[in-house]
A and B are shown apart, each in its own frame.
Chain A
């Protein structure tokens, strides 16, 4: 990771952090709707992976996609408007938090069905290969998705056909309300794909430079036709599974522990240490992010709600 990339990552991560904290407040105020799953703590993975995509690449994600969506370059006002169910939203208010799509920024879909986009990503990878455009399909999912049957089906086919897909598992140790150890005897997701010979790496998901470097290596390999790859990023989900989750099933991190793990603070410390950015730049990244979020909220609040006629017109393609 170069200093310039680190600076860009810091700005992306602050944008995600500011956005997500504001969304949490807006959910409590009933201005954003539905089941909201925040990426607080997942900013490094979003910034490091989505910050390295080529124009021909595509991204898929799951229910916890806000960070991925913003990191692909999707516009923040339209993303906020989508969470508020507005016509000006990315999906004209038809998708909501768990189903964000921005084709213009190659974000082809998030899903509310755990693991549901993994095989779909394979399809886009197949299309890229059949067209020969060198594109890679990236799909984000959590450690809970790995126990779904379609995960094994997809890993098998991806390996069999040597598809250009990068599987990114954000392993925060919890699937909804249950720790991983209660779901499976296999601790490391990267161990699961070993029998298929898929290139895999496990990294500290809160260390953006580590995620960046591992991603760069795996993306290059799969883009070069060396087959699928899996990146397992060990992270921590700071909030409950969804906004409103009483989260009694985990021991709360102490403030000190979080300070040590927070990917944004860690990047700031590393940046200061390596001279990637100074205190002014860090402050600007944070303040600009908050200003951008405030503007996005104002824009979204002014966007009209979609009509029943619009909904009816969207059932079928024209």
Chain B
């Protein structure tokens, strides 16, 4: 959507430092901690960091001993974010100012915009002074889980194929303009896989891991398991990863290694309930990622709802759509195809195939090769399937998001904070397959949705990461499926970790984040209480009375339309990039 002239001037005036628009730089002692006062009732404070396109949330709960307990959910920034590294560094400094011990660190899934902070150059996470209690991860990261192993192996193969395809595309892109667009698209999709190059010192991370492994040898195996490509190739010597390019672990894999070496890893399966040690009034329900044995994943896609096509973007099997592409002999990847018969990667039997030399004897083939007919050749068209493979890989990783619903207070009654990571439709739908038993009652996903007060928008509010209905269940009044997800939520605050400027850098096709129709509904559901990480005002804004509501003061102020809840903005501003508040704090009472 176009940038509004009004928003431009707003930003412009900040840059020029007009006194009206730029709040004064805070004094050192104005540090905003996340502690509750003694006389205050139990509440949760959610600190939504605003580094841009990337997630980082710090939650403070009150422990039984009245001391705060801290839960960090993700810490990353996308490499397209302007000044992303510097901004995230300032965020991490703020975290260490709040606390030197994180009781729980949640790493939702393996994408750089959620993990880059853990391995960024000079990150506090690479120092021993910052302590981590538990590390919460999805079962898909569990080195012992056989299903997870299979999944990782499959993804490893897909990555390798994609790598081969990218190499081939790069070598041809000079001469074929259609391919250069494809190359950009693939780079765009893959940009979630790796941290920005200059933000990253691999040696520093490896040295840290080595030192950790020495002091805690029992954990060394975890690291090697995390290197998925190793798990395909067989485990290798720790630290040897540097020597072999093919086996080199990605920055995301290393980020998970750093966390699991520092803290105690815990792997969660859907249907389980997680507890923060020392906090008795909060339970975290694990909604996703779904497992294969769940009904939903039995079939690859198509739930034949309403007799029309339905795509399910769940991991594990969605590669079948690109199966033929994967097995293209022209990619020259050695693959174990024992599950298929011999020679079946080729569509026709031997007698129909002509060798390279033979084909040049054919008039028609010579015509195909003619210089003036080059414009009609299709030698590279098949490579475009790589786009689908890349999208699948990306969606699959998003779908392995650990989804947590923090319930505050009495089980089955309290308000809920929903952190879906970047879960997509397959993950969302699976939540309805389980329930959480309490003493007498039980909570369902529907019930949790309807009690949600704080919603972290999935996948930067893209078009396919916030669901509105479940088409598997059809009733008379809901012929397209019963309402689910956002449709069930009412009275919420929404946080969208997005920066339009970073999103628009994606070429040739900028991502639709936030997706406008979804954004409209989010605003409606949240009664305009939408906290974005960029300063872009609502693109839909018709007038001044219609812009997003955000905290305007650095002191706690009531949230419009929300009983007892309060919010404030950070007095500290980002030093790099746009000089915006570092975070928004939201305080939600436990009734």
Q: Report if A and B associate in a common complex.
A: no
Residues on A lying within 8 angstroms of B by beta carbon are none
Q: Which residues of B contact A (CB under 8 A)?
A: none
